[in-house]
Amino acid sequence: MSSPTPPPGTAKLGPGTLKLGATGSEIDCSCLVNNLVIVASKDQGDPTTKLCGSVRPGSISYTYEMDGNLDTDIGTSSGLFALSQTAAGTEIAFKFVPSTAAGTEAAGHVVIDPMDFGTTDDFGSDLTSDIAWACTGQPVYTYGDDDGDAAAIAS
């Protein structure tokens, strides 16, 4: 029995890219990424029931966060670890493409927090850091199927 064919547009993680910083001076962090996701979290207010019995739904808003696990490049003063320490709390630009084959890109800004230094794992383990960096606003997504005429979709 053969496996079902995935629907068009589905993709797997990698190869891809993650770049942080202003265009022209960005740091290519692609080879540091073990896993990475942009998460949307919904905040919905309580509905209000009126005297007449009608119900007004609560307001809805979303916040976005870049979550993942990255290797720490502690051996270089021009790397991501150093940036996370010297620019902690700073808003920086990002471009994230989880699959170059799919071609869809997320771009926006995150507030960078300090990465962990060391590990709680065994001797010889990779030095990694979990991150949860808040996005400032909704990322802009540019879809890979736009055939060179990419249309960005934002809030």
Residue 7 lies in a domain: no
The total of structural domains in the chain comes to 1
Residue 139 lies in a domain: yes
pLDDT-based confidence at 1, cuts 50/70/90?
low
Residue 36 lies in a domain: yes
The residue segments making up the domain with residue 26 are: 17-42+57-144
Identity at 43, one-letter amino acid code: D
Q: Any residues with CB less than 8 A from the CB of 18 and at least 6 apart, and which?
A: 28, 29, 30, 32, 33, 36, 94, 95, 96, 97
> Can you give the pLDDT at residue 2?
67
Residue 65 lies in a domain: yes
Nearest to 38 by CA among 130, 135, 129: 135
What pTM did the predictor assign?
0.81
Rounded alpha-carbon distances, angstroms, from residue 92 to 7, 49, 126 = 35, 43, 26
Residue 154 pLDDT > 60: no
How many whole angstroms separate alpha carbon 112 and alpha carbon 80?
Answer: 10
Residue 9 lies in a domain: no
Residue 152 lies in a domain: no
The pLDDT tens digits of the residues spanning 87-114 come to: 999 999 999 999 999 899 999 999 999 9
